[in-house]
Structure 1
């Protein structure tokens, strides 16, 4: 999945159309607030950023992504009208993987996007696994094992466990988990989280205590010793 942040509706729409026509999954956002909410729900495989945005400078968004452990290795391409050598140097030195100036060729863009996705894939192969207390999760392969034995999880069970394991020790309310794992448009109640935690614990067996209930608040991942 590629996320594209661009406030010009025409450019954003045309670019997304071109990427999707080439079989590349892509989603667009007109401002940083929309983009930030999307990243909280799902970390993209690559990001395309305009520099001049209405609410937050694209370079600042890039710095924020690079500072977060969740998005530090996500490939980033700047798509911008700023075309001086200094602009490119600042962006590349600041953490951008690629830089393309407007107007750009859609054919060249899709080619560079494929390269970004390949680069991101190689990065995930190195650092993809989440491992704690006998539980091993591979987000890219969507596999889970407990003490060396494969465990079959549903889509939501996997996403819930992944989200908790990425932030061990952090306590999340049921409402926060609903927003981050199920999405803003989910109309179910917080009881949904309790049900999924219960079934997830059953599948984790002796490692079920890794998902702790914080009374009156919600849940956190606190892996037990192996």
Structure 2
């Protein structure tokens, strides 16, 4: 997608210049910051996409992502991490912090741009009447707030629907229990981690044969398995 405003945050000034030039050639509007501290001085609400390095100064890219995700106006804006760390544990930390995708340095600028286009298309090109998820006989329909299996309503409660919709919105992305509580219960202080677990168990039971697609990553949270 074109005409979206991207903020690139990386302490490598040369890399910021390269990314800004190439992204602008793709039709994006691009600003850069060379630290999280510098980025936080900007009006973040005006950006549609955040491209963040992880290893930076006093405030890391992970912490910056968490700050962005705590802002109700930014919690759905895409975040893509670019970093020299490529271990699985580092990727999991990135996804737990709220990342939509992760690219390890060194990377191909063309691949990075392709990933940005894919994420933007998914986030910003949803039709009003689009079925947000459909796999075999499992369907989630946002307009009617229903999940059906073989055309039969699975009977999810409002909370169960919102949790499943959250997991399906970014298949493969791990959501921590705290993140789920923040997004689904909107700051209700009486909700605990066990409440999330109980609702996930109920969802698994109600979606029958598809229950094993909701995965648990020990110590991190829940995700919906990416399907080929």
**TM-score, reference length from structure 1:** 0.51
Q: Partners of 2:51 and 2:21 in 1: how far apart? A: 14
Q: Which residue of 1 aligns with 2:101?
A: 98
Q: Partners of 2:26 and 2:53 in 1: how far apart? A: 21
Contact persistence 2:23–2:113 (CA under 8 A): yes
**TM-score, reference length from structure 2:** 0.51
Contact persistence 1:47–1:77 (CA under 8 A): yes
Q: Partners of 1:77 and 1:109 in 2: how far apart? A: 9
Larger-gyration structure (1/2): 1
Q: Which residue of 1 aligns with 2:177?
A: none
Q: Partners of 2:72 and 2:128 in 1: how far apart? A: 16
Higher relative contact order (CA 8 A, sep 6+): 1
Contact persistence 2:63–2:97 (CA under 8 A): no
Give unmatched runs, 5+ long, in structure 2. Answer: 130-228
Q: Partners of 2:91 and 2:127 in 1: how far apart? A: 26
Q: Map 1:55-70; keep pairs closer than 5 Å.
A: 55-70=58-73
Matched, 1:34 2:35: no
Identify if the C-alpha distance between structure 1 residues 33 and 125 changes in structure 2 by more than 3 Å, giving closer, same or farther. Answer: farther
Question: Which string of whole-angstrom CA distances, capped at 9 and with x for unpartnered residues, describes residues 70-103 of structure 1?
Answer: 1110100000001111101111122110000011
Q: Which residue of 1 aligns with 2:148?
A: none
Matched, 1:21 2:25: yes
Q: Partners of 1:3 and 1:122 in 2: how far apart? A: 20
